[in-house]
Amino acid sequence: MRLAKLLVCMAILSAVVAGSASAAVPDPERNSNALTGWEWYHGVSESFITNKINANGERIVSLHVESTSPYRFTVALVHNSGPYARGWYWFYNLSAKKLKSKIGSLNARIIHLERYTAGGKGRFAAVLVRNTGAAAKSWWWYYGLTAKQVNARLKLRVAKGKPPQYARIISLDSYGKGSSRRFAVAMIKNAGVDTTKWWWYYHATPSFIASKLSQHNARLIVLDTDTPGRFNVVLVRNTGSAGRFWVYGFGSETQITDLVTENVARIVDVQSYTAGGKKRFAAVAIDDADPDAARLRGVLRSGWNGGLFGAYLKKVGGAVFTGINQDRIFEPASALKALPHLYAIHEAEVDPSNTNLDSTNVTYNSCPGSPAPFDSGQCAGQTNAKDICPTNSNATATYQSTLRVALQRMMQNSDNRETGAVVDHFGRTTINTYADQHGIGAHTQIRQVFGCGFKNNLRNDWTLTDAGKLYEGVLNGSLIQQSANRDTFFNLMITGGTNAAVNSVVQQEANAQSKGGDASDFESRVVISVKGGSYDVACPAGAPASCVFGYYRSAAGRITLPYKQKMFGRTAIVLRSFVFGYFVNALPIPCSDTKPQCSTLAAADNAFGTMY
């Protein structure tokens, strides 16, 4: 289990990371990889943006005016803390004179500039930062320039006999058409900490931009739409981490957000434009992954690139250790069976007179003569009876089991028939309402019968964050209060110790610390509980013609690890628990699930196997 391996290293090793501050630093908005929170929105009002800024402690890094009556914006924000902290301001509907006045009175400089027309007059929208301290720079801004005039402004005036000095563009916006095309720019002095090789191009095609990015080993910091299919861009030498990219032509907010978040990046410049009569988006992103997230991203992309994927790891009662797309709603398949399982244990705890695991019976339908999970259930064309869709019209035989047996089969064998019986016994709406009322259902919803794929175009919803809340709520006693019932919750699902892959990491880390003899004791104390899910269903929308089926996999659970801790002057072993989850949805597979596997399917299965 990849997440388990990360935790094992945490348990065995401890590290202290020291940082230092410098008097001047490059602008972090488009250059920093420091991990931070961020958001982006389109079609939003000033009040919406202001509320987000105030509620989340954010500031704007990219601002584009979509319309002026009423005013609507496309905007990217970053948490205004740590290395991103700046005194800052934003304005719109300003004349050049008023913008100049704001800059002077606030002792500020422009980091993002847009010129547009409102009511027949030229107006500006701008994002400014205080030009003091570490953010202080020599800088300039211009508007109404041709490309030739922009280039002329890049060479700075110096005293006779002094070496030449140059500026570089950090914000670029075009307006007007044809020979009347003009540019508004903000520049900083290309010196000191801001020294870098850089390039700018206008009216460029995507293929031209891609060739220049490759030629210069560069990355985009500014992306401005010119005419349909053409862009104005600013590039700088890519000297840092990988994971910087740009996209254009996307038709929905979700498409961009999915791509950026699953690549653990953040948007630094984004705008909407119209192409073919439809709203489209273009965006620039920069890597936002810490080393652990970067390693995890590499594993997921090795087999799941082309699908929607995510992963999550959080300490119980503590911080998120790493996360990729953890708040994205996905189809969990059988992994969500943990929710009716939780509700059943909850009812047995709070209302034992009506719900008893050993005396309460539930009823399920199956193929005739196939009551047990691994009986032949050919009425559905499946290998095992447990795998049939419970609404199969040929599942005409009726059977009963105790609630305990049903839960065990549901969680250990992933029995769809018993799952249907449990959900029907308590009621789908009742279970969903319980999740909502107990803080684990913000994006959790049972809509579909488990095991029936996307029948009638229905899907179930979950997020890895909600999955983590479910398992953490069991572990910390907020959802299941009695320890015996918490034990029952985990004992009825797949619960065990380490596997060979985790043991290998434990041994390596123990040997590195000259504690190889402790490895087996460490391994014996590890506890892992997990519920997985899988669907092979119809190809997702937009899949290539080669697609044979859509690949959906997920898993979530808990892992408990031993830690050494000083207590009353003595060293004691304490157990610390973490919750985890991972998923891939809508991955197009160009072959059937038969041996030998095609490379795409083999890579997908290998990535899932690497995670667990």
- Collapsing DSSP to helix, strand or coil, 518 comes out as helix
Tens digits of residue pLDDT in 418-453 = 999 999 999 999 999 999 999 998 899 999 999 999
Query: pTM of the prediction?
Result: 0.84
Tens digits of residue pLDDT in 172-226 = 999 998 889 999 999 999 999 999 999 999 999 999 999 999 999 999 999 999 9
- What average pLDDT score do residues 291-312 get? 92
Q: Tokens for 541, please give them.
A: 């929308």
Torsion of CA 55, 57, 60, 65, to 10 degrees: 10
- The chain-wide mean pLDDT, for the chain, equals 91
Tens digits of residue pLDDT in 585-602 = 999 999 998 888 999 999
Q: Are 578 and 316 in contact (CB under 8 A)?
A: yes
Phi, psi of 353 (to 5 degrees): -70, -25
Tell me how far CA of residue 474 lies from CA of 130, 366, 444, 484, in angstroms.
Answer: 48, 32, 17, 11
Total number of residues shown for the chain: 612
Q: Are 248 and 282 in contact (CB under 8 A)?
A: yes
- What average pLDDT score do residues 547-558 get? 98
- Collapsing DSSP to helix, strand or coil, 71 comes out as strand
- Cα separation, 168 vs 394, in Å, equals 72
Tens digits of residue pLDDT in 303-322 = 999 999 999 999 999 999 99
- Collapsing DSSP to helix, strand or coil, 442 comes out as coil
Phi, psi of 569 (to 5 degrees): 80, 0
Beta bridge partners of 155: 166
Task: For the chain, give the longest Cα–Cα distance.
Answer: 98
Which residues, 6 or more positions from 421, have their beta carbon under 8 angstroms from its beta carbon? 362, 363, 364, 401, 406
Which residues, 6 or more positions from 489, have their beta carbon under 8 angstroms from its beta carbon? 341, 342, 345, 474, 480
How would CATH label the architecture of 1-12+293-351+460-612? 3-Layer(aba) Sandwich (3.40)
- From the list 373, 329, 384, the residue with the least C-alpha distance to 554 is 329
Q: Tokens for 275, please give them.
A: 């192409």
Answer whether residue 7 shows pLDDT above 50.
Answer: no
Q: Are 234 and 220 in contact (CB under 8 A)?
A: yes
Sign of CA dihedral 46, 47, 50, 52: negative
Q: How confident is the model at residue 572 (pLDDT cuts 50, 70, 90)?
A: confident
Tell which wins on pLDDT, 218 or 241.
218
Q: How confident is the model at residue 23 (pLDDT cuts 50, 70, 90)?
A: low
Answer whether residue 242 shows pLDDT above 60.
Answer: no
Which secondary structure element, helix H or strand E, spans residue 611, and what is its range? helix 599-611
Q: Are 206 and 268 in contact (CB under 8 A)?
A: no
| Cis ω for the linkage preceding 70 (within 30 of 0) | yes
- From the list 541, 534, 551, 542, the residue with the least C-alpha distance to 590 is 551
Q: For the chain, what percent of residues have pLDDT higher than 90? A: 74
* Model pLDDT, residue 178: 87
Answer whether residue 143 shows pLDDT above 80.
Answer: yes
The rounded Cα 499 to chain-centroid distance in angstroms is 28
Q: How confident is the model at residue 65 (pLDDT cuts 50, 70, 90)?
A: very high
Which residues, 6 or more positions from 103, have their beta carbon under 8 angstroms from its beta carbon? 109, 110, 128, 141
* Model pLDDT, residue 513: 87
Q: Are 345 and 489 in contact (CB under 8 A)?
A: yes
Tens digits of residue pLDDT in 125-137 = 999 999 999 999 9
CA triple 271-274-280, angle to 5 deg: 55
